[in-house]
Amino acid sequence: MAPELQLSTKVKETLKTAEQALDSDSTRHYREFDEHIRQLEATAREAFQAKLQHDYKGILNKLEKAKPLTESEREMLKLLIVGEAKYYLKHENDLENWRVELNRLVEEIERIEATGANDIDSLLHIQALCRDARHILPDITYYYSEKERIDRFEKATSGQIDAEKGRILAGVIRAMMASEKM
């Protein structure tokens, strides 16, 4: 099946499971939705790889031979290596909400600690607050990790790409294009 058709089919399936999950309070429906989201992500990655299949080979050749890249090839290189991260940062709009909520949780823990956290209710409350924080921290960490990854890429490719950098970048591209987790 063509990648575009496969993607369209996967989007429709995912939207159907999303509707089922959002209309229910069922763990099973949310787990199915999560699985469909994971499959959709993988299908989108495969479609991305298929769409760029012919373009990236010329870039690989130039990188391996330490030949200069055109500006459009540099942009393609950026898309290949940090494109997903760039679009994640561009469309992520919850960072400030996560930070505000995390701050609220920390302040609540401080408040409990200041009043003496030695009764059962306080101990359970702290556990609940920590659990909430543990759900937010991975999102914040991922956001900043992706931002730092883009920054490192831009710093590493800001000037001329020498033979060593070219071989390293070519290896990264080959690994990414072969990987199921690009």
Nearest-10 Cα torsion for 90, 93, 97, 98 = -50
Task: Supply the pLDDT for residue 51.
Answer: 86
DSSP string, 55-86: HHHHHHHHHHTTPPPPHHHHHHHHHHHHHHHH
Neighbours of 172 (CB within 10 A): 15
Task: Supply the pLDDT for residue 176.
Answer: 80
Residue 2, burial from CB neighbour count under 10 angstroms (0-12, 13-18, 19+): exposed
Q: What is the mean pLDDT of the chain?
A: 91
- Asked if 24 and 2 touch (Cβ cutoff 8 Å), the reply is no
Percent of residues, the chain, with pLDDT higher than 70? 97
Q: Looking at this protein, which amino acid is placed at residue 103? A: N
Note down pLDDT in tens along the chain; length 182 residues: 677 788 999 999 999 999 999 999 999 999 999 999 999 999 998 888 888 888 888 899 899 988 999 999 999 999 999 999 999 999 999 999 999 999 999 999 999 999 988 899 999 999 999 999 999 999 999 999 999 999 999 998 988 888 888 888 988 888 887 766 54
Spatial distance between the Cα atoms of 150 and 137, rounded to a whole number of angstroms:
20
Please state the domain extents for the chain.
1-68, 69-159
Neighbours of 169 (CB within 10 A): 22
